[in-house]
Amino acid sequence: MASAAAGSATGNYDKIILISATLRESDMGDLASSLVPVKHRRAFEDIVVQIENAIHDGELKVGDKLPPERELAEIFRVSRASVREALRVLEAFGVLTARRGTGSDSGLIVSAHNDSPLSGLLRLYASLLQLPLIDLLDVREALEMLSARRASEQCSAEDIFRLRGIIQSMRDSRSPEGFLTLDTEFHVVLARASGNSVAPLIMSALRDAIARQMLAAFQALEESGNWRAERALLIREHAHLLDAVESRDPDAAAGAFQQHIRDFYQRVFVERGTSAEESSGTPE
């Protein structure tokens, strides 16, 4: 662990005991003793790693409030600017949330956002590295099949009800933008119904990474006068997908999702001249 490595490398430093009204005395004592003055890396990076390790070790939990910036600077023996930079990084990753207010009600809280920061990271790297769209599609197909198989085995009546509600909203949606949002929600909810806690995070990130291409394809269909027919077909396909999951036949459900993805990209991307070999960067 990074905190242990820092502790051994700075053996001459005494552990700093944090006494703060913002920390729970019973649960947060271990956190105070695990934070050490920054010596290696750039200061803000070491702070990020130490806070990350404190969360991993259970010394910081969702809902816990960090000490003020001034106190953290004293604990880490760094400038307040370094602390501020580290906290901004952790906020950007969704690890911390700023609570507005005054006095004890304000400050930075350890959080667990539903919106995974993986989405922004994968979208950014897909663009920077010009990842081939086909590579993203291959991973998505595998994840869809896993999610469908697991969901068909264990999804609840509430999951089915929610998925049917999304399909009904798709019937009511007319714009490509609104429809795409609902389409994404359907697949993320299904991934969550699989019971695998990682599946919805990766599914959301993958959908976000290809969202621009999908929206551009939908808009092109609208401009060519083919959007209405494609929209109706997609609604029927999603109803069929849900029926396959509800049938409790894992193989049939996985096969249905695999066929849906392959048919969709053949119709919408390949046949309209957008090859799946193209980059996942921003469409022109």
Residues 43 and 166 in one domain: no
The reported pLDDT for the residue numbered 13 is: 37
Residues 15 and 104 in one domain: yes
The reported pLDDT for the residue numbered 103 is: 62
Taking 70 as the pLDDT cut, the residues of the chain under it are 1-41, 101-105, 112-116, 272-284
Q: Is residue 159 part of a domain?
A: yes
Q: Is residue 254 part of a domain?
A: yes
The reported pLDDT for the residue numbered 14 is: 40
Residues 22 and 139 in one domain: no
pLDDT in tens, 191-204: 999 999 999 999 99
Q: Is residue 71 part of a domain?
A: yes
Residues 97 and 124 in one domain: no
Residues 58 and 175 in one domain: no
The reported pLDDT for the residue numbered 30 is: 60
The reported pLDDT for the residue numbered 217 is: 92
| CATH number, position 193 | 1.20.120.530
The reported pLDDT for the residue numbered 111 is: 82
Residues 14 and 100 in one domain: yes
Total domains in the chain come to 2
Q: Which domain holds residue 49?
A: 2-110
Residue by residue, DSSP assigns 105-155 as G-EEEE---SS-THHHHHHHHHHHTT-BHHHHHHHHHHHHHHHHHHHHHH-
The reported pLDDT for the residue numbered 240 is: 97
Picking from 110, 127, 156, the residue at the C-terminal end of a domain is 110
Residues 52 and 138 in one domain: no
Q: Is residue 275 part of a domain?
A: no
Helix orientation angle between 227-246 and 157-172, rounded to the nearest 10 degrees: 170
Q: Is residue 283 part of a domain?
A: no
Residues 106 and 149 in one domain: no
Return the SS3 of 33.
helix
Residues 223 and 201 in one domain: yes
